[in-house]
Structure 1
Amino acid sequence: MKKVITYLSVSIGLLFGLSTVANVTTVKADSTLPAGHYAFAVTRTTETTDQNGNLTLTILPKGSSWLINTEYDKGDQTFFQLAPNIVVNLYAGYVYMPKVQDLKVISKGPASLYDHNGQLITDRALAPGSEWYSDRVIFLDGETYYRVATDEFVLLSDVQEY
């Protein structure tokens, strides 16, 4: 019971902490992120650390999304500040830009789908001429992808915004 109360207290504190930084988005000058408003999607339940690398009590559940305040590198790893003194490693998920958009597949054949790492999904594709709703954009290896399902993305070159 004590763990549950502690977890809830920290979670509520984190949420209120996020509300204070929700309107501030700062990114390193040499960041690969385009200018704008970004979030972090958690792809596996993960622990967070403080800025010194010490574990915190905050656990981020798989499937949750968090506003990013700051991006920074420590050694060869990238971290994102989600709240005052709470950071998460890039390996726990992916960065995206929220963008609500209706899409239409313009490729002549089926449009390939990819996961958040840019890996081809081989057992599904989008039919030519089909219409899709997207709520986020990711940028990988110089390519832009729109999300059309939980972890399924289509290349910008295969769709048209409308």
Structure 2
Amino acid sequence: MGLLFGLSTLANVTTVKADSVLPAGRYAFAVTRTTETTDQKGDLTSTVLPKGSSWLINTEYDKGDQTFFQLAPNVVVNLYAGYVYTPKVQDVKVISKGPASLYDHNGQLITDRALAPGSEWYSDRVIFLDHETYYRVATDEFVSIGNVEEY
């Protein structure tokens, strides 16, 4: 599991703080750009997260107008370095009558591709944006839950 979600040291997951809205080990963080991490005081740590890696989240907290996620004891990352998702392996089938639109992890419409009606896709994670659930069907391509069904 350590290879799937980052450093093997994450096996010693700390418990969630009472004020955290995230249950321990249920959510993960996908890094979309190589980024440095900080400790909870805001000082840089020696841990650098490579683009494309994923990490289990222990706790979410806000500091000022920014959101941070605890990845390991006293190692946090800023939300701007990626996105939160729920790991979920699921096959989905497009049920919309026309092509199903695709979106990136920020909810931005991808204009040069769509999924064909009736096509089947493997998904390994879901994200929640603007009160809607999306399944990932490619590296940074997501389809709305309203256009697909699980099978």
Q: Give the TM-score normalised by structure 2.
A: 0.90
Count of residue pairs brought into register by the alignment: 146
Q: Deviations over 1:71-122 (max 9, x none)?
A: 1111110000001110000000000000000000000000000000000000
Tell me the equivalent position of 1:17: 9
Tell me the equivalent position of 1:152: 141
Tell me the equivalent position of 1:43: 32
Tell me the equivalent position of 2:90: 101
Rounded to whole Å, the distance in 2 between the matches of 1:27 and 1:155 is 32
SS of corresponding position for 1:100: strand
Equivalent residues of 1:103, 1:132 under 8 A apart: yes
Rounded to whole Å, the distance in 2 between the matches of 1:140 and 1:57 is 31
Cα distance, 1:28 vs. partner?
A: 6.2
State whether structure 2 residue 12 is matched by structure 1 residue 26: no
Tell me the equivalent position of 2:103: 114
Report the residue type matching 1:71 in the other structure: E
Give aligned-pair identity as a percent: 82
Cα distance, 1:16 vs. partner?
A: 3.8
Pair 86,76 (structure 1): closer, same or farther in 2 beyond 3 Å: same
- Structure 2: runs of 5 or more not aligned: 1-5
Runs of 4+ displaced beyond 4 Å: 27-30, 33-36
Tell me the equivalent position of 1:123: 112
Question: Which of the pair is proportionally richer in helix?
Answer: 1
- Structure 1: runs of 5 or more not aligned: 1-13
Equivalent residues of 2:24, 2:57 under 8 A apart: no
State whether structure 2 residue 122 is matched by structure 1 residue 133: yes
Q: CA RMSD in A?
A: 1.9
Rounded to whole Å, the distance in 2 between the matches of 1:119 and 1:132 is 20
Tell me the equivalent position of 2:3: none
